[in-house]
Amino acid sequence: MFTLASVVAIFYLFSVAFAFPVIPLKVPPGDANKILCQLPIVSRILCPLSARAALTRPTVFGTATGAEDPSGAFRFPVKYASSTRWAPSTVVTSWNLPNGFTNASSLPLACPQPDVDSSAYSEDCLSMVLYVPPSLTLVSNAPTLVWIHGGSFIIGSATGPGLDGSKLAIATNSIVAVVQYRLGALGFMAPSGKTNLAVQDLVNALQFLKKAVPAFGGSASKITLAGQSSGANMIRALLAVPSASSLFTSAILQSDPMNFGFLSPTTQSVMQNFFTGEINCSATDSACLNALSLDTILDAQSDLFGSAADLDPAAGKNQPIRPVLDGSLITSPLDSTRPFPTQTKPLLITTVSEEAAFAIYSSFPDPLPEEAFEPICDATFGEPRTSQIVSSPLYSPIPSVNGDVDARSQLQTLGTDYLWKCSGWTFARNWVGHGGKAYVGQFVVGSTYPGNEAVPFCTQPGIVCHQDDIKIVFGTVENPTPEQAALTTEIQKRYKAFLTSGNPNVPGTATWSPATSSNIPSLLLGGSGVAPVGACVPSFWGSGVQYDYQFFNE
């Protein structure tokens, strides 16, 4: 790669060879670079753009227009794909701001979702926001991190709390793209029976980025997916999409509820029939379908969400609308119910220490006697899984300092293990056992995510609830403690290394050892050492008790 120094030398040689007059550069090196960057042929390729110049970029789609983010990066909102209601999306052919906006400072409207003012969302929502560090030049060959938001596939957006990618982009010297995709029934419940529209949306987003990022100093061959909760679940779906494999090189899955396998076509069909009945339009009546109000669609979606587990227990109660193992787009379950395919991509797989705490302590705001543990387990797991759980010393009562037992503590540990931690370890074992590489970690320092403060347990010192890792990663914690600031610095350094090399180890930090098919050294992020194994062994979760994806899909 050319450097400023080599360009100086070449320019000097050309000047001598062609008898151009040369004026010796008797200026300090830093000022010499500034002078050199005034040369048009040099500045366009090797020099960071000024703020004013950086707000427009020529791309293969046309001129991109952006704005300066308050945190320092250049921000480019863009519509990446188009679609009509319940039809597959297609990649755009020209660069346009989202939602017909003309001001590049405007951020995209969210996709339609419940409990949000209708002025904040639009069906025309297939947009993303690019955050570009000012330091990048056209030959930076920088990596891109594509963030896929969570929200149980029914809520969330690219502009959710803490998702300003500016600080993360600058710290990792990468382009950060925060992406939206169709949610809920509009993304997964097309009356025609066409499944996984939302998954295809993200395939299109990656196709768009592969063409677009070189104009911002990015490499088309260094794209990493990252996401949290259902966003990580969506990444797991993309890992099972053969046509998407060439579009990204690595992935970061944060708090993926891996106990939820992909929906089977049979379960999807049952849910689809219920939803179509709720909207009272036949699958072929396009006039009726297009005339439906978003309120009607969202109401029917809510009815489906609440009824799904009764329609088919395999759907579950917490995330029933999700990707479908359709056999055409998604071709493998990537779990232990079928032979695991050969893998090559490196993964980071992380959870937080109290993943299930928000759900448990919000459902049961008052302490529970030990006698409540078994019936609550039975309502969730049924027999014979409950008897195996309650008879195991791994989930024995945990007395408090005054000797009292609160069954919520057991339920929290149990929920964290089966839904997130242990199922993630099983996935990692399968991944590395079939050729891939995986680094597994657990956040033991976090920052209370908006909404989690409603559960007092989640605000206690040392407690890290679901979503509390997001602001740490993005560097958007307000007034961080020394521990939070230190972990943000560390995790951003590790992500920078992973984006470039597929390895999160950097000098000055603890060694993060990769998982093997038999050993999961889960690094404590914000602590020291590795997480205890506990129940996360194949002979208990995944075999003796079984995850839901095994129990319902035998």
- Alpha-carbon distance of 88 to 79, in angstroms, equals 15
DSSP sequence for 209-244: HHHHGGGGTEEEEEEEEEEETHHHHHHHHHHT-GGG
Tokens linked to 31? 């000022």
Do the beta carbons of residue 232 and residue 256 sit within 8 Å? yes
- Alpha-carbon distance of 203 to 201, in angstroms, equals 5
Taking phi first (over 0 means left), then psi (-120 to 50 degrees means alpha), and beta for anything else, what does residue 401 get?
Answer: alpha
Other C-beta atoms closer than 10 Å to the C-beta of 63 total 11
DSSP sequence for 442-470: EE-S--PPTTGGGSGGGGSTT--BTTTTH
Tokens linked to 418? 């089966």
What is the residue type of 337?
A: T
Tell me which residue of 356, 513, 494, 498 sits closest to 422, measured CA to CA. Answer: 356
CA angle 489, 233, 170 (to 5 degrees): 25
- Alpha-carbon distance of 206 to 243, in angstroms, equals 11
Other C-beta atoms closer than 10 Å to the C-beta of 373 total 23
Do the beta carbons of residue 457 and residue 357 sit within 8 Å? yes
Q: Which of 83, 229, 353, 522 is catalytic?
A: 229
Q: CB neighbours of 106 closer than 8 A, spacing ≥ 6?
A: 77, 97, 98, 99
DSSP-derived letter for residue 310 is H
- Alpha-carbon distance of 514 to 250, in angstroms, equals 14
Q: Is 33 exposed, middle or buried (0-12, 13-18, 19+ CB in 10 A)?
A: middle
- Alpha-carbon distance of 226 to 251, in angstroms, equals 6
Measured CA to CA in angstroms, residue 506 lies from 491, 493, 512 at distances of 10, 7, 9
- Alpha-carbon distance of 124 to 99, in angstroms, equals 6
Is 229 noted as a catalytic residue in this protein? yes
Dihedral angle, C-alpha 281, 282, 283, 289, nearest 10 °: -30
Do the beta carbons of residue 325 and residue 333 sit within 8 Å? yes
Tell me which residue of 207, 312, 218 sits closest to 264, measured CA to CA. Answer: 312
Residue 530's beta-bridge partner residues? 523
Catalytic residues: 229
